[in-house]
C-alpha cells in the first residue's frame, strides 16, 4: 500500500499498541492484551494504520511501526494530559460511566481540552484514511471523533466501540455536554457496546435528548442510518491454550503454590488498581472470613495482584493507600512470620506469569462494582481446561451477562460477598466442574478475533442483508459475533 493514497483501514484509539519504557533498551515495548493482538492482526491483513497517543507527553522519538503495521502518533501536551486525560476522560467520564461510584467532576476547562484533543485525533484520521476507507474509533476518550471525522470526510465508513459501560439515562443526564457527546457518537455508522442494555441505554437517551427517530438497533440521524449493537469483547483463546500447555508455565504454577507454602486453597484477585474494581471490599470480606473461621491461616492463601494505574489521580492514590492498609491489617491479625495470608503485589505482570497464577488458583475473585466486560474472568475460565477452579463474579461486570454459571455476587453486599466466596469454596466437585464446563463453553463461543471480525463485518454493511432476512427483528441489538470451534476438554 502506498500511504500517500491513504490507508484502507485506520484504528483510532487513545493509546498506541506500544508504550514507552525508559528502563528498557528497546524503549517502545508492546502493550500486552488480546485487544492489541486482535486489532494488530486485522490491521496486518488490511495493511492498515493505528493512530493513537504514545502515552508520554514529550516523546524524544516516536514509534512508527509495530509487528508490520504502521503507527501514527497523536501528541498531547502536559496541560492536555491533565485536562483531557486525567480530567475529563478519567475524572468526569470514567466515574460517571461506572455508576458514579466516585462523584464525577464537571469542569468547563476540562471539556474544552476534550474537544481540542478529539479534534486533533479526527483531523489525523481524516489525513491518513484513503478514499472510502474504514475508520474504527475506540473508547470513551474519543466520543466526539465520529461526528468530527464525518464532517471532514463524509466518504468514510466510521465505527465506534465503547469498551466501558454506557450509563443509565438518569446518570448520563448529569453530563453538562450530554448532547454534544451523543451527537459525536451518532457520527458513526455503527456504534458498538459491550452489553445489550448499554446499547439500549444509548439509543433511548439519543431518542429522548436529541429527538432522533428509530429503534434500539437503528437510529436515523440527519438522513443517515446509525446501527447500534452489543459486541461483547473476548480474549485470545489460542494464545492462552498455548501457554496453558507450555511446560515452563505449568512448572511455574506449581512453583507458585510451593512458594505460597503449599496451601490447600489459593484464592486469587487480578485487577488494575482502580476504585471500580471493588478490591478493598473483597479484602474486607476475606478478612471477615478469616475472623469467622471459614478461611484458616496456613490452609488458605490469598494472592492479590493490583496493577498500577493512573497513579497521579488522587482517587487512585487514596484507593491504593486504603487497600494497602487493609492488606496489612489482615496480615497483622492472621499472618505468621514468613507466612502472610494475603500476598499483595502492586506491579505489572508478564502474561506468562499471570497464566501460571490462573493455573495455581483454586478460586478466582472478580468482584468489581462496575466493569465494561472484565477479561480476567474470561482468561481464568480459558485456563481451566481440566474443569477445576471456581469463579466468583460480580453481577456488575459485563462478563456476568455471559458467564451465568459463575458464583454471581453483588459486591456492594458484604454478607452476600462472603456467602458467595464460601459457596465457591465448599460446593462439591461435581457441580463445580459442571459450572466450569458451562463457563468454558460460553467463553469458547467467541474469541477476540471473531469479535473484531464481527464488528467490522457489520460495519461493512453485510449485517443489513442479514437483517433483511430476519425481517421483523429490527430491535435485535446483540450480542453479535460468530462461534469459536473449540472442543470442550480437547485442550485439557
Ligand atoms: O477499560 C478502559 C481502558 O481505557 C482500557 O482500554 C485500558 O487498558 C484501561 O482502561 C487503562 O487505561 P489507561 O491506562 O489508558 O488510562
Q: How far is the CA of 11 from the centre of ligand 1 (A)?
A: 16
Shortest-distance Cα residue to atom 16 of ligand 1: 310
- Residue 96 in domain: yes
Ligand 1 centroid–CA 316 distance in Å is 14
User: Which residues share a beta bridge with 296?
Assistant: none
Three-state SS sequence of the chain: CCHHHCEEEEEEEEECCEEECCCCCCCEEECCCHHHHHHHHHHHHHCCEEEEECCCCCCCCCCCEECCEEEEECCCCHHHHHHHHHHHHHHHHHHHHCCCCCCCCCCHHHHHHHHHHHHHHHHHHHHHEEEEEEEEEECHHHCCHHHHHHHHCCCCEEEEECCCCCCCHHHHCCCCCHHHHHHHHCCCCEEEECCHHHHHHHHHHHHHHHCCEECCCEEEECCEEEEEEECCCCCCHHHHHHHHHCHHHHHHHHHHHHHCCCCCEEEEEEEECCHHHCHHHHHHHHHHHHHHCCCCCCCEEEEEEEECCCCCCHHHHHHHHHHHHHHHHHHHHHCECCECCEEEECCCCCHHHHHHHHHHCCEEEECCCCECCCHHHHHHHHHCCCCCCEEEEECCECHHHHCCCCEEECCCCHHHHHHHHHHHHHCCHHHHHHHHHHHHHHHHCCCHHHHHHHHHHHHHCHHHHHHHHHCCCCCCCCCCCCCCCCCCCCCC
Same-domain pairing of 209 and 276: no
pLDDT at position 59: 67
Q: Would you state the pLDDT for residue 189? A: 98
- Our CA angle for 470, 476, 479, nearest 5°, is 115
Hey, which of 35, 163, 370, 448 would you mutate to test ligand 1's pocket, going by the most ligand atoms within 8 Å of its Cβ? 163
What local confidence, expressed as pLDDT, does residue 474 receive? 41
Q: Within a domain: residue 177?
A: yes
Residue 256, domain member (yes or no): yes
Over 90: is that where the pLDDT of 73 sits?
yes
pLDDT for residue 478:
64
**Are 61 and 177 within one domain?**
yes
466 pLDDT more than 60: no
Distances (CA, A) of 118 to 76, 110, 114, 123, 335: 11, 12, 6, 9, 50
Statement to judge: residues 348 and 311 lie in one domain? yes
User: Is residue 455, in this structure, part of any structural domain at all?
Assistant: no
pLDDT > 60? residue 491: no
Edge-to-edge, what's the strand order for the sheet holding 218-221?
65-66, 69-73, 49-53, 7-15, 129-138, 157-161, 190-193, 224-230, 218-221, 213-214
CATH of residue 306: 3.40.50.2000
- Given 207, 230, 253, which residue is the final one in a domain? 230
| Radius of gyration, CA atoms only, the chain | 23
Closest-lying ligand 1 atom to the alpha carbon of residue 309 = 14
- My answer on whether 186 and 256 are in the same domain is no
Question: Ligand 1 mean position to 95 CA, how many Å?
Answer: 13
Q: Are 206 and 79 part of one and the same domain?
A: yes
Residues 332 and 219 in one domain: no
Residues 6+ apart with CB under 8 A from 217: 199, 203, 227, 228, 229, 474, 475, 476, 477
The mean pLDDT of the chain is 92
Answer yes or no: is 490 within a domain: no
Using N-to-C axis directions, what is the helix angle for 414-426 and 279-292, rounded to 10°?
Answer: 60
| Ligand 1 closest atom vs CA 89 | 16
- Give the pLDDT confidence score for residue 477 in this predicted structure: 66
Q: Is residue 175 predicted with pLDDT exceeding 50?
A: yes
Q: Are residues 199 and 169 in the same domain?
A: yes
Q: What is the pLDDT of residues 86-95, one digit of tens each?
A: 999 999 999 9
Cβ-Cβ contacts under 8 Å for 45 (sequence gap 6 or more): none
Domain identity same for 209 and 289: no
Single residue among 183, 215, 230 that ends a domain in this structure: 230
Q: Residues 17, 108: one domain?
A: yes
Query: In this predicted structure, which of 48-62, 404-418, 474-488 has the lowest mean pLDDT?
Result: 474-488
Is there a domain that residue 409 lies in? yes
Measure Cα distances from 378 to 17, 81, 229 in Å.
Answer: 21, 32, 21
Give 31: exposed, middle or buried? Use CB within 10 Å, 0-12, 13-18, 19+.
Answer: middle
CB 283 within 8 A of CB 342: yes
pLDDT of residue 6: 94
134 belongs to a structural domain: yes
Report residues whose beta carbon is within 6 angstroms of any ligand 1 atom: 14-15, 139, 163-164, 309-310, 372
Domain final residue, candidates 230, 253, 272: 230
**Grid-cell match 460468530, residue found:** 482
Beta bridge partners of 271: 306
Separation of CA 272 and ligand 1 centre (Å): 9
pLDDT tops 50 at residue 483: no
- The yes-or-no verdict on residue 27 having pLDDT over 90 is no
Cα–Cα distance measured from residue 352 to residue 252, given in angstroms and rounded to the nearest whole number: 9
Rounded percentage of the chain residues whose pLDDT exceeds 70 = 92
Looking at 58-62, 177-181, 182-186, 331-335, which range is the least confident one? 58-62
The total of structural domains in the chain comes to 2
pLDDT band at 476 (very low <50, low <70, confident <90, very high): low
Mean pLDDT of 383-399: 98
pLDDT at 469: 30
Tens of pLDDT, residue by residue over 272-331, are 999 999 999 999 999 999 999 999 999 999 999 999 999 999 989 999 999 999 999 999
Say yes or no: 172 and 244 in one domain.
Answer: no
- The greatest distance separating any two alpha carbons of the chain, rounded to the nearest whole angstrom, comes to 70
Q: Check residue 486 and give its pLDDT.
A: 28
Residue 217 sits in the same domain as residue 243: no
Q: For residue range 96-118, what is the model confidence (pLDDT) as tens digits?
A: 999 999 999 999 999 999 999 99
C-alpha cell at 76: 498531547
Q: What is the 7 CA–ligand 1 centroid distance (Å)?
A: 26
* Statement to judge: residues 194 and 245 lie in one domain: no
The answer to the question of residue 488 being in a domain is no
Domain range enclosing 31 = 3-230
Q: Is the pLDDT of residue 489 over 70?
A: no
CA of 140 to the centre of ligand 1 (A): 10
- pLDDT tens, residue by residue, 183-223: 999 999 999 999 999 999 999 999 999 999 999 999 998 89
| Cα–Cα nearest to 65, from 40, 85, 84 | 40
Amino acid at each position: 500500500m502506498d500511504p500517500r493514497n491513504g490507508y484502507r483501514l485506520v484504528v483510532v484509539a487513545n493509546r498506541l499498541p506500544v508504550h514507552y519504557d525508559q528502563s528498557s533498551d528497546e524503549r517502545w515495548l508492546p502493550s500486552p492484551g488480546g485487544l492489541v493482538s486482535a486489532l494488530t492482526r486485522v490491521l496486518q491483513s488490511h495493511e492498515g494504520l493505528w493512530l493513537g497517543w504514545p502515552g508520554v507527553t514529550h516523546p524524544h522519538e516516536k514509534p512508527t511501526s509495530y509487528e508490520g503495521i504502521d503507527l501514527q502518533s497523536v501528541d498531547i501536551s502536559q496541560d492536555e494530559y491533565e485536562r483531557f486525560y486525567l480530567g475529563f476522560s478519567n475524572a468526569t467520564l470514567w466515574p460517571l460511566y461506572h455508576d458514579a461510584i466516585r462523584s464525577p467532576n464537571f469542569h468547563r476547562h476540562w471539556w474544552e481540552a476534550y474537544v481540542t484533543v478529539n479534534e486533533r485525533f479526527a483531523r489525523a484520521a481524516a489525513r491518513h484514511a484513503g478514499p472510502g476507507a474504514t475508520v474504527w474509533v475506540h473508547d470513551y476518550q474519543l466520543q466526539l471523533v465520529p461526528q468530527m471525522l464525518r464532517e471532514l470526510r463524509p466518504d468514510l465508513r466510521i465505527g465506534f466501540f465503547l469498551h466501558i459501560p454506557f450509563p443509565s439515562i438518569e446518570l448520563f443526564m448529569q453530563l453538562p455536554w450530554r448532547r454534544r457527546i451523543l451527537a459525536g457518537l451518532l457520527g458513526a455508522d455503527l456504534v458498538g457496546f459491550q452489553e445489550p442494555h448499554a446499547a439500549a441505554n444509548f439509543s433511548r437517551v439519543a431518542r429522548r435528548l436529541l429527538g432522533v427517530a428509530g429503534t434500539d438497533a437503528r437510529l436515523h440521524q440527519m438522513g443517515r442510518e446509525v446501527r447500534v449493537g452489543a459486541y461483547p469483547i473476548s480474549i485470545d483463546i489460542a494464545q492462552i491454550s498455548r501457554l496453558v500447555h507450555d511446560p515452563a508455565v505449568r512448572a511455574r504454577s506449581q512453583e507458585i503454590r510451593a512458594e505460597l507454602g503449599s496451601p490447600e486453597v489459593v484464592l486469587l484477585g487480578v485487577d488494575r488498581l482502580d476504585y471500580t474494581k471493588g478490591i478493598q471490599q473483597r479484602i474486607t470480606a476475606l478478612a471477615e472470613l478469616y475472623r469467622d473461621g471459614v478461611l484458616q491461616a496456613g490452609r488458605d492463601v490469598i494472592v492479590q495482584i493490583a496493577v498500577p494505574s493512573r497513579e497521579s489521580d488522587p482517587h487512585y492514590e487514596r484507593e491504593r493507600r486504603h487497600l494497602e492498609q487493609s492488606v496489612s491489617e489482615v496480615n497483622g491479625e492472621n499472618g505468621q512470620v514468613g507466612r502472610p495470608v494475603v500476598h499483595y503485589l502492586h506491579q505489572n505482570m508478564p502474561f506468562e506469569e499471570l497464566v501460571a497464577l490462573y493455573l495455581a488458583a483454586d478460586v478466582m475473585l472478580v468482584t468489581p462494582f462496575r466493569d465494561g466486560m472484565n477479561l480476567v474472568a474470561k482468561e481464568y475460565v480459558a485456563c481451566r481446561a481440566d474443569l477445576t477452579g471456581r469463579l466468583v463474579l460480580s453481577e456488575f461486570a459485563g462478563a456476568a451477562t455471559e458467564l451465568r454459571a459463575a458464583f454471581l455476587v453483588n459486591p456492594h453486599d458484604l454478607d452476600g460477598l462472603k456467602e458467595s466466596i464460601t459457596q465457591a469454596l465448599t460446593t462439591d466437585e461435581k457441580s463445580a466442574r459442571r459450572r466450569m464446563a458451562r463457563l468454558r463453553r460460553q467463553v469458547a463461543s467467541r474469541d477476540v478475533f471473531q469479535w473484531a471480525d464481527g464488528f467490522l463485518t457489520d460495519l461493512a454493511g453485510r449485517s443489513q442483508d442479514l437483517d433483511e432476512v430476519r425481517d421483523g427483528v429490527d430491535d435485535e441489538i446483540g450480542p453479535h459475533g460468530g462461534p469459536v470451534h473449540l472442543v470442550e476438554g480437547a485442550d485439557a
